[in-house]
Amino acid sequence: MTTELSPEEIRLQTVRTSNLWKQYTKLYSGFNSHLDRSLRDGAQIKLDDYQILTVLTDGDPDLDDFPLIRMGELSKALNASPSRLTYQVNRLEQLGWVERVEIPHDRRGKGARITDLGYEIFCKAFTLHIDSLNKTLLSGIPDGDYEVVDRVIKHILEAMEEQLHG
């Protein structure tokens, strides 16, 4: 059952939604553009490539090897199309930052793993990423509001996940 809104309620919803959307897109695109430039200038890596390396470094730091991540899992973690991700991983493999590996016990399955060179690049980029995050984004959040921002983002992500995946 849907409730009909009055013209005034529609106008208020439109203004609120429009303002929130504009702020979100300005924040998202502005920070990502800044971070991409910072990573390219300081570590010779694109933000999209850094994000792949970030997922490939997740795991237990006490293990000798970096985790082998299935391409499907990598695609899901990055919200990337499989074809686009395959292109990016192939390019990173040519740079020597990633290796493609057969999945044990799965003849068709392929996975990716970060190489030692890829990890060196990641570490350099990570320092720049944290510095940019702290100076550009987090410095604008008053100390008492970190938890509030974190809670709001978690609620948004949970609602989005529910809408997208039921």
Q: Which domains occur in the chain, in start order?
A: 34-128 (1.10.10.10)
The half-sphere exposure of 67 on its side-chain side, counting CA atoms within 13 A, is: 16
- pLDDT tens digits for 94-138? 999 999 988 877 777 788 999 999 999 999 999 999 999 999 888
Give the confidence band of 63 by pLDDT, cuts at 50, 70, 90: low
Write out the two tokens for 115: 């190489």
Is residue 59's pLDDT more than 80?
no
CA 21 to chain centre: 19
Helix axes 71-78, 82-95, angle to 10 degrees: 110
